[in-house]
Amino acid sequence: MLIGQTRLKEHFIDLISKDSLPKLIILTGEEGQGKYTLARYIADKVGDIYEPKQLKVNDIRLMVEDAQSLSKRRVYLLRDADEMTAQAQNALLKFAEEPTRNAYIILTVQHENNVLPTIRSRGQIYQLDPYTKEELRQFTEDELILKIFNTPGQIKRAMQIDIRKLENVVSKVIDNISKISAANVFNIINHLDEFDLDLVISMLLYMYENKLRDSAEPLKTLEQIKVIYKYKAQFKNKSINKRNALEVMLIELREKAIGG
């Protein structure tokens, strides 16, 4: 079920009705924002759907080969295309440079920079719109979840965990970050491992931003918030080791907390 995204849905319906849908579409948005759901919505309106199980170079080459001899419209849906290697993306270039009449490709990525410039320049990039609280309330009435998370995917996953436990763990991290040695940061990660990283980051931001309002040292707290936003952007790159990056982020938060 696709909640929200009215502007984009209407835009794509208009393009399809005019037979002017771009051959290569790149949908970008936060994890859980509904990129794949929107991609399926578009594809269902166009024709057949072909979705490779993997995005390795040979899978892409087979897909491009399949696109050369279509008798009716087909949409090739590449979910989480952030994970494609440069080699696989280069294999996709043949389609991007010489699209066939009945073939369309939709890529979903967290950020357009995760796609090679040669692909970006040949596609149309669409950023998903943020959701209103009224739209998100169709998934849950839990006020804590609604305050912290802003995408349908996050909310659905937050509903499957003990959200109060995550709140408690993150609260202890924030309260004790300046007292924890750099060597013990690894132990903190062990307590966070049971939760998805993006849920942890959203909870950290929510609680730090609450702390900022009552902080006796607002500049330190603001610096810590900046650190989290910096790493939140880095975590969109799926090629990085997120566990290692989380460890480095916590060490930086510790340094900011003690005034380093």
- Taking the C-alpha atoms of residue 81 and residue 206, their distance in angstroms, rounded to an integer, is 29
Which is higher by pLDDT, 235 or 23?
Answer: 23
What's the rounded Cα separation, in Å, for the pair 224 and 158? Answer: 24
Q: Are 231 and 249 in contact (CB under 8 A)?
A: yes
- Whether the pLDDT of residue 32 is over 60: the answer is yes
Determine the pLDDT at residue 18: 94
pLDDT in tens, 159-186: 999 999 999 999 988 888 888 876 777 7
How many angstroms separate the CA atoms of 47 and 55, rounded?
21
More confidently predicted of 115 and 188: 115
Helix, strand, coil share of the chain (percent; to 5): 60, 10, 35
In terms of Cα–Cα distance, which of 253, 144, 254, 257 is closest to 199?
144
**Kind and range of the H or E element at 104?**
strand 103-109
What value does the mean pLDDT take over residues 58-87?
Answer: 91
- pLDDT attached to residue 238: 66
pLDDT of residue 260: 56
Contact 173, 188 (CB under 8 A): yes
List C-alpha distances in Å: 137 to 6, 141, 156, 198: 16, 6, 11, 20
Question: What is the model's pLDDT at position 116?
Answer: 92
Phi/psi at 127 (nearest 5 deg)? -95, 125
User: pLDDT, tens digit, for every residue of 213-235?
Assistant: 887 788 889 999 999 998 888 77
Measure the CA–CA gap between 193 and 165, rounded to whole angstroms.
13
Both ends of the chain: CA-CA distance in Å? 47
User: Mean pLDDT across the stretch 244-249?
Assistant: 86
C-alpha span between 211 and 205 (Å, rounded): 10
Q: Is 126 helix (H, G, I), strand (E, B) or coil?
A: strand
Amino acid residing at 164: R
